[in-house]
Chains A and B, each alone.
Chain A
Amino acid sequence: MAAWIAFFALAVVLVGAAVMVVSARDLVHTVLWLALGLVTTAGVHVALAADFLAAVQILLYSGGVVTLMLFAVMLTRHLEGATARMRSESGARGVVVALMLAGLIGASLWRSDKLGAKAPAMEVDTAALGELFLGPLVLPFELLSVLLLAAMIGAIVLSRPEGPPGSVPRLPPRVTPPGGPHE
């Protein structure tokens, strides 16, 4: 019974946050609702006996991704308080595609016969995860670090200022006050 109450509490918060992410007009609000959704997902992971994953979720998503996204919002806004307009003509199309997808997922869930299965008793064991990562899965694990390195270099190359290496980045022309520069 308590498990169902926890499930519905998590589900309501999660779905509410998701709806706000796709409908909030202010970009900062969008990112903050996303942060709420990601933290609630950590709660879902705890309910599903994945404690280590919940910690990673909070550290990486809420700590890293949301902060990065807030930086991007602040850096790319022309005007303080500018709002993100919705594309009205594509709203109907979005609803149609989302409903079709929901129908597809619902139909395949409906046809499945293994959904009522009782969860087996499962020990939360972070050590087992570590042994998987450094045992049979060590090659994908190391490949992942190569991928992260590539993503880091790519992000730096993409976002560095133009011009030859070592040059001073171009700054917008400075407006001199009418009385001439002081100092």
Chain B
Amino acid sequence: MNELLANGPGLGAWLSLAGLLFCIGTYGLLTRKNLVAVLCSLELMANAVNINLVAFSRFHGDELGQVFALFSIALTVAEVAVGLAIIILVYRQRQGIEIHELTDLRG
């Protein structure tokens, strides 16, 4: 126990934190009604994944994990840009960005 205290938080602690964040993001993704709020929840999940990558990089002593996290950040930013453009487009066409109104593709 003393050794655990002296070593600081291990890989499991960081992975648990990231897993918790990912689950909270999933909950938001499924329950939020507004498209911008859904995108925020998605950001939360991507963020949790980045924490995982950096934690693995730290505990394996390899910089490659940080490189993956950098790629992931750049991809997320591109995703947000396109997502917000789609949100603006949806708003312009129907004056609202509530998810339950977007049922045009329902079979």
Contact = CB atoms under 8 A, between A and B. Distances in A.
Given A27-B37, A102-B23, A129-B63, A86 B54 contact: no
Contact of A93 (B30, B77, B86): B30
B93 to A, nearest CB: 10
Nearest to B11: A115
A174 B38 CA distance: 34
Contact of A155 (B32, B43, B64, B82): B82
Interface in A43-79: 44-45, 48-50, 52-53, 56-57, 60-61, 64-65, 68-69, 71-73, 75-76, 78
Contacts of B22: 101, 105
B55 A48 contact: yes
B74 interface: yes
Nearest to A151: B78
Interface residues of B, number: 75
Given A19-B24, A90-B30, A158 B37 contact: no
A85 B24 contact: no
B106 interface: no
A156 B84 CA distance: 11
**What DSSP secondary structure best describes chain A's contact surface?**
helix
A95 interface: yes
B82 A151 contact: yes
The secondary-structure label for the interface of chain B is helix
Given A18-B21, A78-B96, A115 B27 contact: no
Interface string B3-36: 0111111111111110111111111101111101
Contacts of B102: none
A159 B85 contact: yes
B85 A154 contact: yes
Contacts of A121: 61
A9 to B, nearest CB: 12
A103 to B, nearest CB: 9
Contact of A53 (B15, B60, B64, B66): B66
B12 A116 contact: yes
Interface string A1-31: 1011001001100110011011000010011
11 contacts: A3-B8, A22-B25, A44-B14, A48-B57, A53-B70, A57-B50, A65-B76, A69-B40, A105-B22, A106-B19, A122-B61
Nearest first, the 9 A-B pairs at minimum CB distance are A3-B8, A115-B12, A22-B28, A151-B78, A94-B30, A105-B19, A120-B61, A94-B31, A158-B85
